[in-house]
C-alpha cells in the first residue's frame, strides 16, 4: 500500500474535442496541450493537466492520483495487475503506473508531472464580515466571466462493485474514511452504501474528500469537482455560465458533508462538472463520521433541485 497525495486529473472521452474545449474554457480551464487524439486542460495552479479528453465515443475512462515519490511508483507496480513503472508519453509527462479498479476504470498513479508557469488569479480581495474588517480601501467591481479553476478537487464514483472499490481505494491507495453513509435511519442503521474518502497525508490537512464511492447498479461518473478561488469567483462564474447554452444542474449552495460552496454544470455529453470553494480540511487524527445515505445529497442551503 502507498498513500496517494491528491487526485491529479480525470480522463473522459468525447466525439468532439472542439466542443469540449469550448465548454471547459467557459467553465474556467485553459488549454495546456492538444493533439489529434486528445485535449489537455489546466487550472491556474502550475500542474500541466487537470482534465484529459480523448477523442471517441462518450465515456468516463478513469483518473490519476499523485504518488509522493518515484519510489512509491515502484511499490505500487508490485500489485497484481499493475503495470511496470512507465515513462508517461503524454504532454503532461512524468512517470506512472497503471492500475484497474474493480469496476474496470483506469487508475493512474503518477509522479513528476510537468509544471507550467502559474496563471495569476484576478480579483482576489479579502472578505469583510460583521465582526472582521479585512478589506479596507479596495472596492469590489465584478462582471460576468469564467470562474478561475485552480485544481481538481474530487471525483464521485458510482460503483457497480461497491465493496471491491472501497477496499481498493482504501487498502491499495491508502485513503481514509471521512464519513460513512448507511442505508436506514439513525435509530436503525443498515449497511454502508457510500463512503467519503480523503488522502492520508499524516498531520497535513487535506480536502474532506478526494473521492466519494457510492453503491450503484452499474459503474459510472457521478460528478467531477474543481476548486475555484473563493465565493465571489464561484458566483461570478455562475453568472457567466447563465449566459451560455449549457445545462445548470444544481446550486448555488453549501453541502452538509464537506461543507463546500458549490455550483454544478453539465458538459455537452452530460458529464456533471462542479465548481466549489471553502471546503472542510481534515488530517489523520480526524475521526470518521456516520450518517444516513441521504445526507450525501442534503444541503445546508440551496434552491430546490
Q: Which residue has the cell 466525439?
A: 15
Q: Residues 159, 164, 165, 167: what is their CA dihedral angle, to the nearest 10 degrees? A: 150
pLDDT level of residue 188 (50, 70, 90 thresholds): low
Residue with the bigger pLDDT between 57 and 126: it is: 57
* DSSP 8-state symbol, 145: -
Instruction: Please say if the pLDDT value at position 185 is more than 90.
Output: no
Distance of CA 41 to the CA centre of its chain: 14
Instruction: Please say if the pLDDT value at position 187 is more than 90.
Output: no
Question: What digits encode the pLDDT tens for the residues 135-158?
Answer: 999 899 999 999 999 999 999 999
Q: For residue 55, how many C-alpha atoms fall within 13 Å in the half-sphere facing its CB?
A: 9
3.40.50.2000, 3.10.180.10, 3.20.20.150, 3.10.105.10: which CATH number matches 6-117+147-301? 3.10.180.10
pLDDT level of residue 94 (50, 70, 90 thresholds): very high
Domain boundaries, the chain: 6-117+147-301
Average pLDDT over the chain, rounded to an integer: 96
Question: What digits encode the pLDDT tens for the residues 256-299?
Answer: 999 999 999 999 999 999 999 999 999 999 999 999 999 999 99
Per-residue model confidence (pLDDT) at position 52 = 98
**Spatial separation of the C-alpha atoms in residues 259 and 253, rounded to whole Å:** 10
Instruction: Please say if the pLDDT value at position 225 is more than 90.
Output: yes
On whether the CB atoms of residues 56 and 232 are closer than 8 A, the answer is no
Residue 252, preceding bond cis, omega within 30 degrees?
A: yes
**Spatial separation of the C-alpha atoms in residues 289 and 282, rounded to whole Å:** 12
Per-residue model confidence (pLDDT) at position 105 = 97
* DSSP 8-state symbol, 247: P
All three cell numbers of 264, joined, read: 454544478
Question: What digits encode the pLDDT tens for the residues 191-223?
Answer: 899 999 999 999 999 999 999 999 999 999 999
Nearest one of 6, 59, 275 to 147, comparing CA atoms: 275
Q: Which residue has the cell 464521485?
A: 156
- Which helix (H) or strand (E) covers residue 231, if one does? helix 231-242
On whether the CB atoms of residues 249 and 265 are closer than 8 A, the answer is yes
- pTM: predicted TM-score of the whole model, two decimal places: 0.96
pLDDT level of residue 305 (50, 70, 90 thresholds): confident
Mean pLDDT, residues 62-66: 98
Per-residue model confidence (pLDDT) at position 264 = 98
Cβ-based neighbours of 48, under 8 Å, separated by 6 or more: 32, 33, 40, 42, 91, 92, 93, 113, 114, 115, 116
Nearest one of 97, 89, 35 to 62, comparing CA atoms: 97
Per-residue model confidence (pLDDT) at position 164 = 97
Cβ-based neighbours of 81, under 8 Å, separated by 6 or more: 99, 100
Q: Residues 203, 102, 41, 210: what is their CA dihedral angle, to the nearest 10 degrees? A: -30
Q: Which long-range contacts (CB under 8 A, 24 or more apart) does 114-122 make?
A: 114/48, 115/46, 115/47, 115/48, 116/32, 116/42, 116/46, 116/47, 116/48, 117/46, 118/44, 118/45, 118/46, 119/30, 119/43, 119/44, 119/148, 120/44, 121/44, 121/148, 121/150, 121/229, 121/233, 122/148
Per-residue model confidence (pLDDT) at position 184 = 79
Amino acid at each position: 500500500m502507498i498513500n496517494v497525495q491528491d487526485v491529479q486529473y480525470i480522463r473522459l472521452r468525447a466525439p468532439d474535442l472542439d466542443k469540449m474545449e469550448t465548454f471547459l474554457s467557459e467553465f474556467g480551464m485553459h488549454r495546456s496541450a492538444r493533439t489529434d487524439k486528445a485535449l489537455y486542460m489546466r487550472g491556474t495552479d502550475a500542474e500541466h493537466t487537470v482534465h484529459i479528453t480523448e477523442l471517441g465515443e462518450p465515456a468516463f475512462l478513469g483518473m490519476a492520483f499523485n504518488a509522493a515519490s518515484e519510489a512509491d511508483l515502484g511499490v505500487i507496480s508490485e500489485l497484481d495487475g499493475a503495470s511496470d513503472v512507465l515513462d508517461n508519453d503524454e504532454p503532461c509527462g512524468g512517470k506512472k503506473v497503471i492500475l484497474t479498479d474493480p469496476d474496470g476504470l483506469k487508475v493512474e498513479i503518477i509522479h513528476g508531472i510537468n509544471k507550467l508557469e502559474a496563471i495569476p488569479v484576478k480579483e482576489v480581495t479579502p472578505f469583510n464580515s460583521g465582526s472582521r474588517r479585512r478589506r479596507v480601501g479596495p472596492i469590489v467591481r465584478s462582471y460576468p466571466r469564467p470562474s478561475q479553476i485552480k485544481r481538481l478537487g474530487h471525483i464521485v464514483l458510482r460503483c457497480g462493485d461497491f465493496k471491491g472499490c472501497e477496499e481498493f481505494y482504501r487498502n491499495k491507495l491508502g485513503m481514509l474514511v471521512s464519513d460513512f453513509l448507511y442505508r436506514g435511519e439513525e435509530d436503525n442503521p443498515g449497511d454502508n452504501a457510500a463512503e467519503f474518502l480523503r488522502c492520508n497525508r499524516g498531520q497535513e490537512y487535506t480536502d474532506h474528500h478526494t473521492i466519494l464511492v457510492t453503491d450503484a447498479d452499474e459503474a459510472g461518473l457521478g460528478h467531477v469537482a474543481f476548486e475555484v478561488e473563493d465565493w465571489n469567483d464561484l458566483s461570478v462564474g455562475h453568472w457567466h455560465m447563465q449566459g451560455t447554452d449549457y445545462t445548470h444542474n444544481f446550486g448555488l449552495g453549501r453541502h452538509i458533508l464537506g461543507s463546500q460552496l458549490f455550483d454544478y454544470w453539465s458538459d455537452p455529453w452530460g458529464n456533471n462538472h462542479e465548481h466549489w470553494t471553502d471546503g472542510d480540511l481534515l488530517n489523520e487524527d480526524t475521526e470518521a463520521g456516520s450518517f444516513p445515505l441521504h445526507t450525501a445529497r442534503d444541503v445546508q442551503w440551496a434552491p430546490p433541485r
